[in-house]
Amino acid sequence: MARRPRARQHSAQYAWLITGPLALFAAICFASFWADRPTWYQSWPVGLIAFAGICLAYAGVFNVVIRRSTYSVILTEVPLVLVLYFVPPAMVILVVAGASIVAQLLRSAVIAPVKMWFNVAKCAATISAALLVIAALPKTEGAGPATWAVLATALMINTVLDAFCLAGVMSAIQGLRVGQDALRGLPPTLAITGVNIVIGLVFLVALVATQWSALLLAVLVTALVLMLRSFAEFFRQHRTLTDVYELTKAVREDGSDASLPDVLLGRVRALMRAEYATLWLAPQGRHPEVLLTARVENKGLLDLSPAPPAVRAKAIADGQTVAVGPSFKDTHDLRKDLRQYKIKDAVIVPLLSGQTTIGSLEAINRMGDTRVFRAADVQVLETIAAHAAAAVENSRLVERLRHDAYHDRLTGLPNRRRITDALAEAVKVRAETEVVATLLFDVDGQRDVNESMGHAAGDKLLAEVAERLRSIAGPGALVGRIGGDEFVVTLRAESTDVTVRLATEMREQLRGPMTVGTLTLDVDTAVGVAVYPDHGGDPETLIQRAELAANAAKVLPYGVQLFHPALESRAVRRLGIAADLRKALDNDELDVYFQPKVTLADRHLVGVECLARWTHAAHGEVAPEDFVAVAEHTGQLSRLTERVLSEGLRRCREWAEADRPLSIAVNLSVRTLLDSRFPDHVEEMLEHYAVSPAQVTFEISEPGMLGDIERVLPTLYRLRDLGVRLSVDDFGTGASSLSYLRQWPVHEVKIDDSFVQGMATDSGDLAIVRAVISLSREFGLTVVAEGVESELTLDLLEEMGCEIGQGYLFSRPLPYERLEAWFNAQTEPESTPAGEVRRLRAVI
């Protein structure tokens, strides 16, 4: 936004308030001098020479640089000394007014009548005042000192009145302060005027002494003009080089995309001595269009441009500088566009980035009536434009790098670093009645999309999730991506309960179908919630604890978990036991427990489930889910599975040799089934321990198998062909249909204990168990119920036709020694057509 000057400007027509009285005063003086000397016009030859001399003086303007100020030297006082001495007063007024008109017609490409007639009236009035001073002073003869004093006094008064007239008209149009600023330049002007008067008096004395001195004076004037021009050009070039250096240095140091106009435009306008300097930057990506102009009488920048659009369009289209004005003949056809906008001359330089035009730098209207833009000025502006274009590109590159450092390239969302910084600021300004919440959304199934459809499809899925999450998060929330399939939303809420409710609502809105390629996917998410100050005082802790909560939320049906300390203690514990697990496997420190499996119809002991147990030296009993998870993430799962399977096979052979044939069941992870070498390894172990494959059952968790069913099916078929039995563990907790049982090469279904334990009191659980048993029997599958802990449950299962039960009602998982004691105490041999088996004596 341009900053407008506070001083109120008036129309240029206010200049007539000064021009009118000046013109009237000059007319009265002209009439008076005519009446005093009616034959003045007979001196027309002298008047013609005087007219030519004054016109030449108006044209010869020299700019001299003293320290850091520029002074314009106009030699009008030199011919005026001679004119006031030799020419009649009425003709002096006419000659000065006429020369002023001619000079303005020659200097200005666009004629402003108000300005032109003010200058004519000013020149006529001030020279009339000088003539009145001469008339009022005592008459002098010859070219002596008395004449010098009279002429010097008259011309000094002429200069002073000229300055006051100019200050008056500027005050009328632009304000009193501008007029006062104009008067501050009067002392240097008087000094230059004094020098000119002395030169003119020397010429006068020489001409009075002999008219032949005019030849010598002409040579002297010519030499003086050439010397002054050379002197002025030298200082102009030196000053230009200095200004260009300082400007490019300022652009390099402070020329960011935002501050470049402030740094550049004022300096360019002053350096080019232009009325306007404009910077235009085309819109590009995140960068909006910039159009700002520095004007000579404005302290701020204006959001407009005086340049004709056609001229700028030509420069942008051609990618080359366009200079229009009296000095540039090759663009003469464009001067009509300038005249329509009342512009004298203009230079427009495109800003280039490689072959692409990203904007333009423009200088409009060279200041000073006797000067116009030249080829050297074009070169200066092109040099500045090159530095400005480089500054813009560097600034945008730095901003792009900064943006990339804090944003995710795929989704455009803030990354972990940006989210961390935002959280750090948010917790500093939190109100007492609110919490700062961190919601972590973990996208489920993104890895499957990558593996089945390619990473491009996975990227589209993440971009869709990002867009949807951004739209539902609300204006006060910050959405970011901190990992492969992890998104974070930070927001302020009234309380923790409100935060959890918001997380649940956002998850439900996010669950809608998403189209990826030709497929429509129903993508689910797990949401972890952590809030400040309850769950941490710094951003890293909040994000870490939200991740822990999201991991825990994956196993919850509603998919949202608020952080609690138990989650962190388990995670820390798992991290601490990772190295110890490897040592335990190396030293054979893991134990294998056995839990009996019993037929419900006749209470026969038919087998055991082999379960790994670990007693840590420091942590005590480690939960199986903890060290199994550690084994999966540290690549030790195959060793853990081998340990359990080998121990089970060894005991199975021992029981067979002791005439107590029992089958074994071993849990398998989906990650194990993804290993194509696993069936061959099982075959080798069966041969090594001389155990029939039919005595081995592998239990695979249904929820884990569903995510990778297509990839694990080949391994399942190979195991089935090997002769081992396959069981679907935790059946009912996944999202599969019972019809999947016809497709899977399994022999057994194991109903999850959560349904079995609740069936005696919950009609829903009872219906699920009954349906599973009924359909499994239709498919010819054996049904095993785990979690049998009461007689009522046992009776219900037996009534429904469930074949095998397993649970605390029969026995807890036992180490081998205690299992042998349990065999002796709780079972007794019984002869059957298939041979001798162990039968429970009683259920206690």
Query: What's the pLDDT at 546?
Result: 92
Cβ within 8 Å of residue 207, ≥6 positions away: 82, 213, 214, 217
Element (H, E) at 758: helix 753-758
Q: Is the pLDDT of residue 542 over 80?
A: yes
Q: What percent of the chain has pLDDT over 90?
A: 21
Cβ within 8 Å of residue 385, ≥6 positions away: 349, 350, 351, 360, 361
Q: Is the pLDDT of residue 350 over 70?
A: yes
For residue 503, give Cα distances in angstroms to 427, 446, 562, 573.
Answer: 19, 20, 10, 28
d(CA 246, CA 248): 6
Split at pLDDT 50, 70, 90, the class of 154 is: confident
Split at pLDDT 50, 70, 90, the class of 838 is: confident
Sign of dihedral through CA atoms 582, 585, 588, 593? positive
Q: In what order do the strands lie in the sheet with 274-281?
A: 301-302, 290-295, 274-281, 356-366, 346-353, 322-324
Q: Is the pLDDT of residue 595 over 90?
A: yes
pLDDT mean over 777-789: 89
d(CA 567, CA 545): 8
CB count within 10 Å of CB 693 equals 15
Please tell me which residue, 45 or 707, carries the higher pLDDT value.
45
- What tokens appear for 490 in the block? 């930070």
Q: Is the pLDDT of residue 449 over 90?
A: no
d(CA 269, CA 297): 11
Query: What's the pLDDT at 235?
Result: 60
* Ramachandran region, residue 351 (left: φ > 0; alpha: ψ -120 to 50; beta: rest): beta
d(CA 733, CA 584): 32
| Cα end-to-end span (Å), the chain | 87
Q: Is the pLDDT of residue 598 over 60?
A: yes
d(CA 213, CA 54): 19
Q: Is the pLDDT of residue 385 over 70?
A: yes
Q: Determine whether 250 is exposed, middle or buried from the number of CB atoms within 10 Å of its CB (0-12, 13-18, 19+).
A: middle
Lowest mean pLDDT among 37-41, 97-101, 733-737: 733-737
Helix (H, G, I), strand (E, B) or coil at 276: strand
pLDDT tens profile 619-638: 788 888 888 888 887 788 88
Q: Is the pLDDT of residue 45 over 80?
A: yes
Q: What percent of the chain has pLDDT over 70?
A: 86
pLDDT mean over 550-574: 79
Split at pLDDT 50, 70, 90, the class of 347 is: very high
pLDDT tens profile 495-522: 999 999 999 999 988 887 777 766 677 7
Query: What's the pLDDT at 561?
Result: 93
Taking a C-beta distance cutoff of 8 angstroms, is the pair 628, 640 a contact? yes
d(CA 271, CA 248): 12
Lowest mean pLDDT among 165-169, 562-566, 573-577, 644-648: 573-577
d(CA 209, CA 403): 82
For residue 478, give Cα distances in angstroms to 405, 496, 498.
Answer: 17, 18, 17
Query: What's the pLDDT at 1?
Result: 33
C-alpha dihedral (455, 457, 459, 463), degrees to nearest 10: -170
Q: Determine whether 224 is exposed, middle or buried from the number of CB atoms within 10 Å of its CB (0-12, 13-18, 19+).
A: middle
Taking a C-beta distance cutoff of 8 angstroms, is the pair 457, 516 a contact? yes
- CA-based angle 455:459:460, to the nearest 5? 120
For residue 816, give Cα distances in angstroms to 18, 98, 268, 650.
Answer: 119, 127, 93, 11
Sign of dihedral through CA atoms 760, 761, 765, 771? positive
Element (H, E) at 209: helix 186-209
209: phi then psi, degrees, rounded to nearest 5 = -65, -45
Query: What's the pLDDT at 64?
Result: 46
Q: Is the pLDDT of residue 106 over 80?
A: no
Please tell me which residue, 725 or 627, carries the higher pLDDT value.
725
Strands 486-493 and 435-444: antiparallel
Sign of dihedral through CA atoms 684, 689, 695, 697? negative
pLDDT mean over 39-50: 83
Please tell me which residue, 247 or 201, carries the higher pLDDT value.
201
Please tell me which residue, 336 or 220, carries the higher pLDDT value.
336
pLDDT mean over 520-528: 82
Helix residue ranges, H only, 287-428: 309-318, 335-340, 375-406, 416-428
- What tokens appear for 289 in the block? 């269009």
- Please choose, from the candidates 444, 544, 559, 434, the residue with its C-alpha nearest in 3D space to the C-alpha of residue 504: 559
DSSP string, 481-534: E-SSSEEEEEEEES-HHHHHHHHHHHHHHHTSEEEETTEEEE-EEEEEEEEETT
pLDDT tens profile 235-246: 666 566 666 677
Split at pLDDT 50, 70, 90, the class of 260 is: confident
Please tell me which residue, 147 or 239, carries the higher pLDDT value.
147
Q: Is the pLDDT of residue 597 over 90?
A: yes
Query: What's the pLDDT at 158?
Result: 86
pLDDT tens profile 266-300: 878 887 888 899 998 888 877 788 888 988 877 78
pLDDT mean over 365-375: 74
Query: What's the pLDDT at 65?
Result: 44
Split at pLDDT 50, 70, 90, the class of 610 is: very high
55: phi then psi, degrees, rounded to nearest 5 = -60, -45
Please list the residues that pair with 747 across neighbouring strands: none
Q: Is the pLDDT of residue 8 over 60?
A: no
Split at pLDDT 50, 70, 90, the class of 785 is: very high
Please tell me which residue, 844 or 609, carries the higher pLDDT value.
609
Mean pLDDT of the chain: 82
Query: What's the pLDDT at 509?
Result: 87
Q: Is the pLDDT of residue 327 over 90?
A: no
Split at pLDDT 50, 70, 90, the class of 703 is: low
Q: How many residues does the chain have?
A: 844
pLDDT mean over 730-740: 59
Cβ within 8 Å of residue 820, ≥6 positions away: none
- Please choose, from the candidates 231, 209, 194, the residue with its C-alpha nearest in 3D space to the C-alpha of residue 65: 231
Query: What's the pLDDT at 814?
Result: 93
Query: What's the pLDDT at 772?
Result: 87
Query: What's the pLDDT at 438?
Result: 94
Taking a C-beta distance cutoff of 8 angstroms, is the pair 726, 702 a contact? no
Q: Is the pLDDT of residue 68 over 60?
A: no
Q: Is the pLDDT of residue 453 over 80?
A: no
Query: What's the pLDDT at 258?
Result: 61
Element (H, E) at 624: helix 624-633
- Please choose, from the candidates 115, 650, 737, 70, the residue with its C-alpha nearest in 3D space to the C-alpha of residue 369: 115
